Amino acid sequence: MKFLIIMLLLVFAQQRCSSKIISDWEIGLEKYSMKCANETNLDPTISKRILREFYMPDERNFQCFLKCIMENSGVLKSSHEVDIQELIELPQHLIDDWNAVQNPHREKCVNLTKIDPSLPERLLTEMHVPDDDGFKCYLKCVLENVKVIVGNDIDVDTLSAVVHMTRDLSEKCANATRSESDACRKSFILTGCVLQNQL
């Protein structure tokens, strides 16, 4: 799961990060896609869809494919640590906006989900991506408290107001979550879409 999240962050960076980062990843994907596709029994054309179409299937062999790409390109160290901060530096306004949304609910949601209290801050400042479902439920808790998620539905108007996105983009992100019934995963997908459209 960690590899999917890291790739999601790379894709989210596509719109505002330097073209060199995206170009490097496209080259890395192309360079190792055949080797990694063969090792993981995955269609090698999938690499073209990752950055262009934001294609991220939640399948074990796809996760292994990403791991292989990251190991071969040097992003994943032998200690299984990822220094993602060197790859992406988020704009300060995004960090500030996210903190304005989460801070009033942070303590309550951390206590409810029992996650490490440093994780919410570290996600954006250190690009530390937790590898557990608790963080997805933390996102759900925050989004429910700001009334973006009501029941298992996304309130598009509230989403637009909270994250300063157009209604069209908010609808796009809400639609991206429609097939997901798990509210924690839905929150994670929604957050990813919001990041993609704000970077």
pLDDT bracket for residue 20 (50, 70, 90):
very low
Q: What is the DSSP letter of 114?
A: T
- Is residue 178 classed as helix, strand or coil in its secondary structure? coil
- CA 180, 183, 185, 189 dihedral sign is positive
The secondary structure of residue 153, as a DSSP letter, is E
State pLDDT tens for residues 157-169. 999 888 777 889 8
Are 89 and 126 spatial neighbours (Cβ–Cβ below 8 Å)?
no
Quickly state the pLDDT bin for 132 (edges 50, 70, 90): confident
CA–CA dist 32, 48 (Å, integer) = 12
Asked if pLDDT for residue 129 goes beyond 50, the answer is: yes
> Which tokens hold the place of 69?
């790409």
**What is residue 123's predicted lDDT score, i.e. its pLDDT?**
73
Q: Is 83 exposed, middle or buried (0-12, 13-18, 19+ CB in 10 A)?
A: exposed
Q: Are 196 and 12 in contact (CB under 8 A)?
A: yes
Q: What is the pLDDT of residues 75-87, one digit of tens each?
A: 777 777 765 554 5
The H-assigned helical ranges of 76-118 are 92-102, 106-113
Residue 98 pLDDT > 50: yes
Query: What's the mean pLDDT in 172-193?
Result: 90
Q: What are the structural domain ranges in the chain?
A: 17-87, 92-196
CATH entry 3.40.50.150 includes domain 92-196: no
